[in-house]
Structure 1
């Protein structure tokens, strides 16, 4: 009976179970950047064939969470610290533009959705659940993006937010161990209020400050924990 169940999962939604499990383990850094993902080992772990494993890895690659090398082996995508300034530049542009549009175009339903996402985030913070915190943080910002009514800009923003989730988890870990810095939530309520009031310039300023906060916190974390001997001064030049 158990074998039949595994067969059905392999032919149907088995890949999704593998995908969701590995996805969460990569985001929470249980699977480290650069770690090899061996198809055979994963298949044995989930008691499935290699076909759903390959499907799951394809979807993870689409999320920029895994990379296939020239020898066809797959690894967890590295976190490229040296490209962080360019990432922050793009994030700043997308965050400010989406927040400006939201302040200009939001409906009352949009305001309710943003407020609910903020409540979800606060609930996750109260439970100290990093995975739920990073997901709720992303959904808060995506609720703002949807309020801006431009699906193309929102899609670009969503991709950037997804790419930044592992960096956010590194920051969460740092805060828990050191009690230094602060969570990227202090401006959320202010951002919501600026959007509610249709104060476009204040919304823009808050979005920009939010990016700089993330940049500076991540810079301090990397400098103290992972970047000894590496020149990271350029990280503070963007945004």
Structure 2
């Protein structure tokens, strides 16, 4: 490979390293909501020009993990507590629909994939690494979504799961510190069992309870740590 082609390769892929590093730091809350992301400072940190840094920030913006302000500065996207009720309502609907479809339409191959993702999540829980846990949790639920065979619902669900990963970190932290509840593993096992048995109604009920547990613990965490009076109506019960 010539020196010229090597330079092109580095320039073409440099943003990916910046993107992946910043994404992990944002999702793990190492970069907190509202943190300023200065292009020049980041370029110095990663020892590269501003162009790949800018590209990485653009892609993080598409993921809704950073926002550009009116003065053109970029910050880590805030966690919007005020809109959490609407978020969790959408998550509940998407989670229930995808899980119902998986119970009705799953194949044996789907079951193997879901079971594999469950084991990966359980292994991540044992490490105590919240980023690994949230990524594995997302992959477990997306395996369920793919088993439902509806790409539009699956795509919508994936976006919601990605948007909720930072909140899930706070959820994990709350459970570990207070020992109130459990780290989703038991619920995941029950969901897999319902999907395996093609029990659509039970799968729906478990998916709803799963969202409700996440909602309750996240709100408890926020009230305990930020004295935020978050008004939430109850999620609709599974019908």
**What CA distance in whole angstroms lies between the structure 1 residues aligned with 2:187 and 2:60?**
31
Aligned-pair CA distance for 1:127: 1.3
Q: Which residue of 2 aligns with 1:212?
A: 212
For residue 123 of structure 1, give the secondary structure of its aligned residue in structure 2: helix
**What CA distance in whole angstroms lies between the structure 1 residues aligned with 2:89 and 2:177?**
28
Q: Which residue of 2 aligns with 1:231?
A: 229
- Once the two structures are overlaid, the 10-residue window that deviates more, 169-178 or 159-168, is 169-178
**What CA distance in whole angstroms lies between the structure 2 residues aligned with 1:173 and 1:190?**
23
Change (3 A) 1:62 1:165: same
Aligned-pair CA distance for 1:183: 1.4
**What CA distance in whole angstroms lies between the structure 2 residues aligned with 1:187 and 1:212?**
12
Q: Which residue of 2 aligns with 1:118?
A: 118
> 1:85, 1:238 within 8 Å by CA — same for their partners in 2?
no
Q: Which residue of 1 aligns with 2:128?
A: 128
What stretches of structure 1 of length at least 5 have no aligned partner?
Answer: none
For residue 58 of structure 1, give the secondary structure of its aligned residue in structure 2: helix
> 2:110, 2:147 within 8 Å by CA — same for their partners in 1?
yes
Structure 2 length-normalised TM? 0.93
The alignment yields a C-alpha RMSD, in angstroms, of: 1.7
Q: Which residue of 1 aligns with 2:61?
A: 61
Structure 1 length-normalised TM? 0.93
After superposition, the C-alpha distances for 1:83-132 in whole angstroms (9 at most, x for unaligned) are 11100100000000000000011000000000000000001111111111
| 2:180 matches 1:180 | yes
| 2:71 matches 1:74 | no
